[in-house]
Amino acid sequence: MPYLRLLGGQVAIGAAAIFARYALTGAAPLAVAAARLTLAALVLVALGRGLGRLSGRRELAFGFAGLALAVHFATWIASLEFTSVAVSTLLVTTTPLWTEMYDIVRERRAPGGAFVLSLVLGFAGVTLVASQRSSGAPPVPGHALTGDLLALAGSLAIGAYLLIVRDAGANVDGTRLATRHIVTRTYMWAALMLVVTALAARQPPPALSNVVAWSGIVAMALVSQLLGHTALNAALRDFRPSVVALSTLAEPVVAAVLAAIVFGELLGPATIAGGVLVLAAVAITLATSRPASAETLTEIRG
């Protein structure tokens, strides 16, 4: 059961991009992201998580975290309009590289040899991926680089989110919030910001009669967001956080396999080679960096 739980969580999260593609058939990215986060937040609030008063300073921090989370989902979902599922999911997994780089700069310490190797491998891998295209055209063909940049922006945004909640969830006012409370609060902030932005951009949600689009949104919120991440957090009882964090490298592989089956997105040798280099870079970073909020990482991604 522990291995099945871990595998099931990765499959559920890896399928998020597939669900997003269906959701995008009925609405623009901001509207899809707003609907997904709103639904997930409502479910968590209904379960009684994330409620209660916090200090103004802490609430402000969670507001900024919600903003970063909103940017993450908006840019990542938008990337799926321009680039392949496999490439988009792969580039989003580069988050550990950015968070480790931030810690190195903040702590004014020299980067270790392993991290330098990770950067070299990651840069080479991203270059290979960006220079090649999959055989299956995304909904808006001819703008693959735009999709790649949006996916990288999503990776940077979720990195900013993790850095903010790492500090906001600490013992600032005598208590440390559980991850589920942090997630609920930031989902609420992110949903609010996305709803306001989508309305301002005149991006309405899908029509209620659009079963395909709403099925994609509901599946993202319930299957990938809640069930998938719940399974990974449950896996922390059976595996070390480092093992669970490293297992998230299976997400791009799952996404690539599903995209090939569902959408016919077949990757070329150069793209596969670049993907292997990027995953190797992330694996080295996860294996050699100091343990951070692995539970929060598994709670959010996808």
The reported pLDDT for the residue numbered 49 is 61
Is the model's pLDDT at 150 over the cut of 70? Answer: yes
pLDDT at 277 over 50: yes
**DSSP assignment, residue 220?**
I
CA distances from 151 to 92, 107, 168, 176, 209 (A): 6, 27, 26, 32, 30
Radius of gyration of the chain (CA): 18
- Asked if the model's pLDDT at residue 207 lies above 90, the reply is yes
Q: What is the DSSP string of the chain?
A: -HHHHHHHHHHHHHTHHHHHHHHTTTS-HHHHHHHHHHHHHHHHHHTT-S-S---HHHHHHHHHHHHHHHHHHHHHHHHTTTS-HHHHHHHHTTHHHHHHHHHHHHTT-PPPHHHHHHHHHHHHHHHHHHH---SS--SSTT-HHHHHHHHHHHHHHHHHHHHHHHHHTSSTTS----HHHHHHHHHHHHHHHHHHHHHHTT-PPPPTT-HHHHHHHHIIIIIIIIIIHHHHHHHTTTS-HHHHHHHTTHHHHHHHHHHHHHT--PPPHHHHHHHHHHHHHHHHHHHHSPP--HHHHHHH--
Is the per-residue pLDDT at 63 higher than 80? yes
pLDDT digits (tens, 9 = 90+) for 210-265: 999 999 999 999 999 888 877 877 777 777 766 777 788 888 889 989 998 998 88
pLDDT value of residue 181: 79
What is the C-alpha to C-alpha distance for residues 187 and 162, in angstroms, rounded to an integer? 13
Q: Could you give the percent of the chain with pLDDT greater than 70?
A: 86
Predicted structure pTM score: 0.86
Q: What is residue 156's predicted lDDT score, i.e. its pLDDT?
A: 93
The one-letter code for the residue type at 52 is G
pLDDT at 135 over 60: no
Residue 198 has pLDDT above 90, yes or no: yes
Give one word for 140, left, alpha or beta, with left for phi > 0 and alpha for psi -120 to 50: beta
Q: Which of 122-131, 132-141, 226-235, 239-248 has the highest mean pLDDT?
A: 122-131
**What is the Cα–Cα distance from 235 to 262, expressed in whole angstroms?**
28
Q: How many of the other CB atoms lie within 10 Å of CB of 212?
A: 11
Residue-wise pLDDT tens digits, 3-25:
888 888 888 988 999 999 999 99
Q: How confident is the model at residue 296 (pLDDT cuts 50, 70, 90)?
A: low
Paired tokens of 302: 């996808």
Mean pLDDT over 278-283 rounds to 89
For residue 216, the model assigns a pLDDT of 96
More confident residue, 8 or 48: 8
Asked which of 79-88, 120-129, 203-212, 228-237 is least confident by mean pLDDT, the reply is 228-237
Average pLDDT, stretch 31-40? Answer: 94
**Residue pLDDT, tens place only, 163-183:** 888 777 655 555 667 777 788
Contact 71, 157 (CB under 8 A): yes
**143 versus 124: which is more confidently predicted?**
124
Of these ranges, 50-64, 111-125, 170-184, the one predicted with the greatest mean pLDDT is 111-125
CA distances from 187 to 94, 240, 269, 287 (A): 22, 26, 38, 29
Alpha-carbon torsion angle 243, 245, 250, 251, nearest 10? 160
Arithmetic mean of pLDDT over the chain: 84
Using the predicted structure, report yes or no on whether residue 132 has a pLDDT greater than 70: no
Residue 191, Ramachandran bin (φ over 0: left; ψ between -120 and 50: alpha; else beta): alpha
Please compute, for residue 27, the number of CA atoms within 13 A of its CA located in the half-sphere on the CB side. Answer: 32
Residue 293 pLDDT more than 50? no
